[in-house]
Amino acid sequence: MRFVFILFVSVPCHPPSALWTSTQTSTGRSRICWCSTFFCHCCSWFCRCCMISRTSFCLSVNHYCCFVEFDRTFLRFHSDQVVRISPESPHQVQMVQNLLQTLKQVDLWQPSSVALIQHGSSVDVHVGRSSTQQLKTHLHQEDIYYTVLISDLQAEVEKQTQSGSSRGRRSEVQYDYDVYHSLDEIQSWMMMMNRTHTQLVEMFSVGTSYEGRPLYVLQVGGMRRRPSKPAVWMDCGVHAREWIGPAFCQWFVKEALNSYHYDPVMRRLMNQFNFFIMPVFNVDGYHYSWTTDRFWRKTRSRSPKFHCRGADANRNWKVRWCEDGASPHPCDETYCGSGPESEPEVRAVAAFLRRHRKRVKAYISIHAYAQMILYPYSYKATPIPKLSCVDSAARRAAMAIYSAYGVRYRYGPASSTLYVSSGSSMDWAYKNGISYAFAFELRDTGYFGFLLPESLIRPTCTETTRAVRAIASSLLKKCR
């Protein structure tokens, strides 16, 4: 169901000179207008109505052409549910796959593709209210166990969007790290960090997104910012709906800067390494998840042959591109893109990492959800060389997480710990000489899923900061 904002705008009657024209509204903003087939009775010509979301019509009020505009729509999820399904046999797996491919209004949360469903592993799926009963009936008929994780999705969404007053604060002292922030707020915060911590922070852009937004990165490091200084790369927000990722990247920067002068461990790490931190990798998708669809995952690029938009930014890298675990179809959530690095965001970051491959000693990509620390390979089950070194770092990271609040994270090769996927950034980083390459899947294990409450931002970020410190500390030790 869509929640629609209706805006009334009036302009004097005057015939436009062409099919497409620019009409100035009463607010003074020029807009591109579209020739409607609705007749405007205040004039003797067809009204040209402003086209915002492909739906407009006009009517006559006091001898003015009035545009009734269906302005930017935000998807609503009243009575939608998130259901966890537990197939226990190959037959039940096949039934669940067929059912999810048949039903309308179905959004798979875990795993990311129907093809990755396995018996013995749970399946989390967001189901629209019109399909909920049908899904439950079929599962009951096939004797497949399920449980409802979220009974009203909209109620949970609103819990993340009702603390706007604290989000709007701009000063560093008042900036609230315990709430989720929009893209504009995050980028303003990055500029503030760059402006107020000139000795430790440097902000730059690695390129622009499909929709023309800058791809900002913060370089955070101690006083010795020599060109050859080793570095750790960390990105968040690859998948737009995983809001806890950008929240963590901001938290880590704040903790690093605040603790530099009194914490000897953090000071040593920042003096030994530069941290390249990209709070929002998928800027277009993240912005879209705030303005239109809370559960948008992909980028926002256009496909010339399909109406579906975007590619999976973690299936678009030039390593076993579009093989197992990725889809060639633009409408799928795991769409690999039209080619390796077809997405401007992926291409820009890959180019930066190639230029600095001799400096970057660790690559960390933050995702959600599953509570896992993953390392290569994603695309095959073969162990990586020097497995013990990477596995030891992952184990230390998991122990560091546990030391904070007793939360357990699994760790291991992505292909066996989570699922097989090709074209991932982690595998690409490893193949390009970054031996310590990891992907984190943060809290939780499905009770909240992509809607991790703001009350859990602090504990999640606190424990994850300890994990990143543990991995960075592992780089200082020689491993044979």
Q: Which two tokens stand for residue 322?
A: 């579009």
Mean of pLDDT values over 9-33: 35
Q: How many CB atoms lie within 10 A of CB 96?
A: 24
How does pLDDT run across 49-65, given as a tens digit for each residue? Answer: 332 222 333 333 333 33
Tell me the pairing of strands 274-278 and 214-221: antiparallel
Is the pLDDT at 27 greater than 60? The verdict is no
How does pLDDT run across 201-251, given as a tens digit for each residue? Answer: 999 999 999 999 999 999 999 865 677 899 999 999 999 999 999 999 999
Asked whether the bond before 377 is cis by omega within 30 degrees of 0, the reply is yes
Active site residue 441: yes
**Which amino acid belongs to residue 31?**
R
Under DSSP, the state recorded for 314 is T
Spatial neighbors of 98 by CB under 8 A, at least 6 apart, are none
> Distance between CA atoms of 321 and 29, rounded to whole angstroms?
44
Q: Which two tokens stand for residue 69?
A: 């505009």
How does pLDDT run across 271-319, given as a tens digit for each residue? Answer: 999 999 999 999 999 999 999 999 999 999 998 888 999 999 999 999 9
Q: Which of 343, 441, 454, 463 is catalytic?
A: 441
Under DSSP, the state recorded for 312 is -
**Which amino acid belongs to residue 151?**
S
Q: Helices 244-259 and 264-272: crossing angle, nearest 10°?
A: 100
Is the pLDDT at 129 greater than 80? The verdict is yes
Provide the mean pLDDT of the chain: 86
